[in-house]
């Protein structure tokens, strides 16, 4: 990361209060999952492991090994697959397992739930939050408002970028269909890296400017590519995109992320409960689950 980019990120954190709420929000999801599993009669410990801050994956896997855990079901907190949203995290888990093994701890085998970007719970949670956002608009603007789904951009050359875009489109389409809305779009945000490198587009801010010139009056931003209201949502949408909408005279409201919506937590519990006994990666067939 360049010094300029570091300064930019520092500014973003300063604007949202100096810290990201990601850890706290993720722990709330874990606590809600424990409660849901309990209601379902399933007694399983739930651990949180982070890639860039404590509890780091190595710390979490060490705690699991010390507690006697030998097999685990992994749930990566990203609905849409790409290298950065999925594969990189799985590699981090592999590296952490090697690290705890080198430190003398027994291995914790991890197998993962299957794709869930079109599962009922994820779609229902996003649908409900868009409905709530629409309701907060004046009635005159409500029907004209466009639903704009956003997700983190990735380089077009990144492994899995095409699948990532297709899965995002599938999720957005299902939410829009449930809303009964044909007026929607999928855009991207939060790109970094070298300016000349191709990333998935359009950028949300560029999109808002271009569409305002074509008559866009109101917009609901739905961060469907994010599960929690962390910095990419709190700054890139709530601060930067909102400022552009105010400048352009576009009414904007932002829908909540899936977070701890009951439908989302019930879905995670179902994924865990339907998973066969956790074993080595790749040996478990995907469960048959409800699709929208």
Please write the tens of the pLDDT for every residue from 59-107. 999 999 999 999 999 999 999 999 988 889 999 999 999 999 999 999 9
Residues 286 and 255 sit within 8 Å (Cβ to Cβ): no
Which tokens go with 61?
């896997």
| Beta carbons within 8 Å of 247's beta carbon, 6+ residues apart | none
pTM, whole model, 2 decimals? Answer: 0.90
Terminal Cα-to-Cα distance of the chain (whole angstroms): 40
Low-confidence residues of the chain: pLDDT under 70 = 1-6, 9-13, 15-16, 18, 275-292
Q: Which DSSP helix (H) or strand (E) runs through 232?
A: helix 231-234
Q: What is residue 283's predicted lDDT score, i.e. its pLDDT?
A: 41
* Residue (of 224, 277, 284, 288) closest to 255 by Cα position: 224
Q: What is residue 274's predicted lDDT score, i.e. its pLDDT?
A: 85
For 232, counting Cβ atoms within 10 Å of its Cβ (0-12 exposed, 13-18 middle, 19+ buried), the class is buried
CA 267 to chain centre: 14
Which tokens go with 48?
């949180």
Name all domains of the chain by residue range, CATH numbers in brackets: 3-115+263-274 (3.40.50.1400), 120-254 (3.40.50.1400)
152 bridge partner residues:
189
Alpha-carbon distance of 204 to 100, in angstroms, equals 41
Q: What is residue 2's predicted lDDT score, i.e. its pLDDT?
A: 61
Number of H helices, E strands in the chain: 11, 6
Q: What is residue 237's predicted lDDT score, i.e. its pLDDT?
A: 97
* Residue (of 66, 71, 69, 62) closest to 102 by Cα position: 62
Alpha-carbon distance of 117 to 78, in angstroms, equals 9
pLDDT in tens, 157-185: 998 899 999 999 999 999 999 999 999 99
Which tokens go with 175?
């939410």
Q: Which DSSP helix (H) or strand (E) runs through 171?
A: helix 161-179
Q: What is residue 194's predicted lDDT score, i.e. its pLDDT?
A: 73
């Amino acid at each position: 990361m360049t010094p300029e980019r570091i300064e930019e990120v520092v500014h973003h954190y300063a604007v949202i209060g100096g810290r990201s709420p990601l850890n706290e929000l993720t722990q709330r999801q874990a606590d809600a999952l424990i409660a849901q599993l309990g209601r379902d009669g399933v007694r399983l410990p739930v651990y949180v492991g982070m890639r860039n801050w404590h509890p780091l994956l190595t710390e979490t896997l060490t705690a699991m090994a010390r507690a006697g855990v030998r097999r685990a079901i992994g749930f990566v907190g990203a609905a849409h697959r790409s290298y950065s949203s999925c594969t990189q995290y799985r590699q981090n888990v592999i590296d952490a397992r090697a690290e705890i093994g080198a430190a003398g701890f027994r291995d914790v085998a991890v197998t993962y739930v299957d794709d869930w970007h079109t599962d009922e719970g994820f779609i229902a949670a996003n649908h409900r939050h868009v409905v709530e956002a629409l309701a907060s608009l004046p009635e005159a603007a409500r029907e004209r408002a466009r639903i704009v789904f956003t997700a983190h951009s990735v380089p077009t050359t990144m492994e899995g970028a095409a699948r990532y875009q297709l899965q995002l489109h599938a999720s957005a389409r299902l939410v829009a269909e449930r809303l009964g809305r044909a007026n929607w779009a999928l855009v991207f945000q939060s790109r970094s890296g070298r300016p000349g490198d191709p990333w998935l587009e359009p950028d949300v801010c560029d999109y808002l400017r271009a569409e305002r010139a074509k008559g866009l009056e109101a917009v609901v931003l739905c961060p469907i590519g994010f599960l929690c209201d962390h910095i990419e949502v709190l700054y890139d949408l709530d601060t930067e995109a909102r400022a552009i909408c105010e400048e352009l005279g576009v009414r904007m409201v932002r829908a909540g992320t899936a977070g701890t919506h009951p439908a989302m937590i019930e879905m995670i519990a179902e994924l865990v409960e339907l998973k066969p006994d956790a074993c080595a990666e790749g040996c478990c067939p995907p469960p048959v689950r409800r699709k929208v």
